[in-house]
């Protein structure tokens, strides 16, 4: 947290340049007192500066009230500005990796209940499973399924941001991004499509946002005809997220098919640049997935080359129009009917998991066949089994989906099986693992 000087000197205005702003944020961002309020007299030197700046902006009289000056000059009160900045600072620190030395300090500060409730911040009253904020003065209640030694989740379910993901000595990815002006881009597209190396690995990608629902798509094109299509509904999101998801889907499928020369064509310059940038930002996880995907493929194919090409949108390019239609379809796509049966089985408990099969006498043990855990329960399969961790984190990232629907803290069984915006991702996870596939007739 920044330290603000409490005296006015010649250089006092420089540190306050980040405090005084002409455009205040919305009330919901700063209107709630989130931290221990300081005594009123502690803000008097800062209030004098705020008043002087407001007078300079408005040209008002010296005797005008501070509240009137702040309103006319569109300046936030000092206390609210500092609390807002402190809240953002703590939120930023909570996104640091678990190994960072400052994380234990924050975790202990948040998890330790103060002696008096009036000295607590709102962060002390977050349920460990992220269901709601409790009222001030109420202690944190340990839930029935929570072990006594379980650590409080100090991340509050926010997306972990890695300050430096790629080592300085890491080799660059074999990805060439080409973004030309419109006329030159069309010429480059014709040259790339004429390259015989891309005959079976040319993908057009796009994203779409309709009625608040985002989607991404990738279409493999051969001879200006659709040869393969991938649609990925994202639920609530932005168009750029759909564009990047389309690039991820196309690259994943091309590398899965062992292509060494891959051509991905998109009409979003922001997505083409963002998919390669692992700098700290919201949505960093997609760039990290893309980076890991390509580096893993390099182990199998050292001569891998990927060309990401920008093309103007809606100019009659067959592949781009097909990708645009597929992205719109992704925003309206219904879940696979097979997923409904799997989700119903998980909800009711009558499933292919060994816990139920053992009760029914179909298997000799309720243990998990994949990791050896004593009981293969629904929670074990969905959240704990290490055999499916890759699907949870990378292929069908459940935790990322939970963050999109504002579920703070660790995921648990109830929202995964009941939240409308998680059902599609949960169904895709079940389908990807293949655990609920019907047994063969020989069994």
Q: How confident is the model at residue 156 (pLDDT cuts 50, 70, 90)?
A: very low
pLDDT of residue 24: 34
pLDDT of residue 379: 83
Query: Is 148 exposed, middle or buried, given 0-12, 13-18 or 19+ CB atoms closer than 10 A?
Result: exposed
Average pLDDT over residues 303-310: 94
* pLDDT over threshold 90, residue 219: yes
Q: How confident is the model at residue 111 (pLDDT cuts 50, 70, 90)?
A: low
Model confidence over 30-54: pLDDT tens digits?
Answer: 333 344 455 677 778 888 888 888 8
pLDDT of residue 26: 32
In order of 66, 133, 414, 422, 429, the CA distances from 383 in angstroms are 54, 24, 12, 14, 11
Rounded to 10 degrees, what is the CA torsion of 183, 184, 187, 192? -140
Q: How confident is the model at residue 77 (pLDDT cuts 50, 70, 90)?
A: confident
- Measured CA to CA, the distance from residue 126 to residue 143 in angstroms comes to 13
Angle of the 44-58 helix axis to the 66-73 helix axis, nearest 10: 50
Reading the block at residue 319, the tokens are 């592949």
Model confidence over 115-150: pLDDT tens digits?
Answer: 665 555 545 544 444 334 444 445 545 544 444 444
| The overall pTM is greater than 0.85 | no
Least confidently predicted of 52-66, 332-346, 371-385: 332-346
Average pLDDT over residues 149-160: 48
Reading the block at residue 308, the tokens are 């990401």
- Measured CA to CA, the distance from residue 78 to residue 185 in angstroms comes to 51
Q: 214-227: buried (b, 16+ CB within 10 Å) or exposed (e) per residue?
A: bbbbbbbbeeeebe
* pLDDT over threshold 60, residue 429: yes
Q: What percent of the chain has pLDDT over 70?
A: 67
Q: How confident is the model at residue 230 (pLDDT cuts 50, 70, 90)?
A: very high
pLDDT of residue 114: 63
In whole numbers, what is the pLDDT of the chain averaged over residues?
74
Q: How confident is the model at residue 1 (pLDDT cuts 50, 70, 90)?
A: very low
pLDDT of residue 11: 35
Reading the block at residue 294, the tokens are 């390509």
Q: How confident is the model at residue 363 (pLDDT cuts 50, 70, 90)?
A: confident
């Amino acid at each position: 947290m920044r330290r603000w000087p409490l005296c006015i000197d010649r250089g006092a205005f420089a540190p306050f340049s980040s405090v005084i702003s002409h455009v205040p944020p919305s009330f919901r961002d700063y209107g709630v007192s989130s931290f221990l309020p300081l005594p009123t007299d502690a803000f008097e030197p800062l209030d004098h500066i705020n008043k002087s700046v407001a007078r300079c902006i408005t040209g008002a009289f010296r005797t005008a009230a501070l509240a009137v000056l702040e309103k006319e000059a569109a300046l936030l009160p000092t206390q609210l500005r500092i609390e807002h900045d402190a809240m953002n600072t703590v939120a930023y620190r909570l996104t640091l990796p678990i190994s960072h030395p400052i994380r234990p300090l924050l975790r202990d500060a948040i998890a330790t209940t103060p002696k008096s409730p009036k000295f607590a911040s709102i962060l002390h009253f977050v349920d460990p499973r992220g269901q709601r904020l409790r009222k001030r003065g109420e202690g944190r209640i340990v839930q029935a399924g929570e072990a006594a030694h379980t650590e409080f989740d100090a991340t509050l379910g926010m997306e972990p941001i890695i300050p430096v993901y790629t080592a300085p000595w890491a080799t660059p990815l074999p990805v060439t991004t080409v973004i030309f002006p419109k006329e030159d881009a069309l010429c480059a597209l014709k040259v790339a499509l004429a390259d015989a190396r891309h005959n079976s690995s040319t993908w057009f990608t796009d994203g779409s946002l309709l009625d608040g629902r985002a989607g991404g798509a990738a279409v493999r094109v051969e001879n200006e005809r659709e040869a393969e299509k991938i649609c990925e509904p994202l639920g609530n999101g932005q168009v750029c997220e759909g564009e990047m998801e389309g690039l991820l889907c196309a690259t994943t499928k091309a590398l899965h098919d062992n292509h060494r020369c891959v051509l991905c064509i998109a009409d979003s310059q922001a997505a083409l640049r963002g998919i390669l940038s692992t700098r700290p930002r919201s949505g960093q996880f997609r760039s990290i997935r893309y980076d890991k995907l390509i580096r893993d493929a390099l182990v199998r194919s050292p001569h891998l080359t990927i060309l990401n090409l920008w093309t103007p949108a809606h100019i009659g390019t067959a592949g781009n129009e097909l990708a645009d239609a597929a992205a719109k379809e992704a925003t309206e796509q219904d879940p696979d009917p097979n997923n409904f049966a799997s989700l119903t089985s998980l909800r009711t408990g009558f499933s292919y998991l060994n816990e139920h099969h053992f009760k029914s006498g179909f298997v000799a043990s309720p243990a998990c066949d994949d990791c050896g855990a004593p009981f293969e329960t629904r929670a074990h399969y969905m959240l704990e089994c290490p055999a499916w961790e890759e699907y949870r984190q990378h292929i069908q990232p459940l935790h990322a989906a939970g963050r999109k629907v504002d579920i703070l803290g660790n995921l648990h069984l109830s929202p995964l099986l009941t939240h409308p915006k998680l059902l599609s991702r949960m169904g895709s996870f079940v389908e990807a693992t293949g655990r609920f596939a019907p047994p063969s007739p020989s069994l």
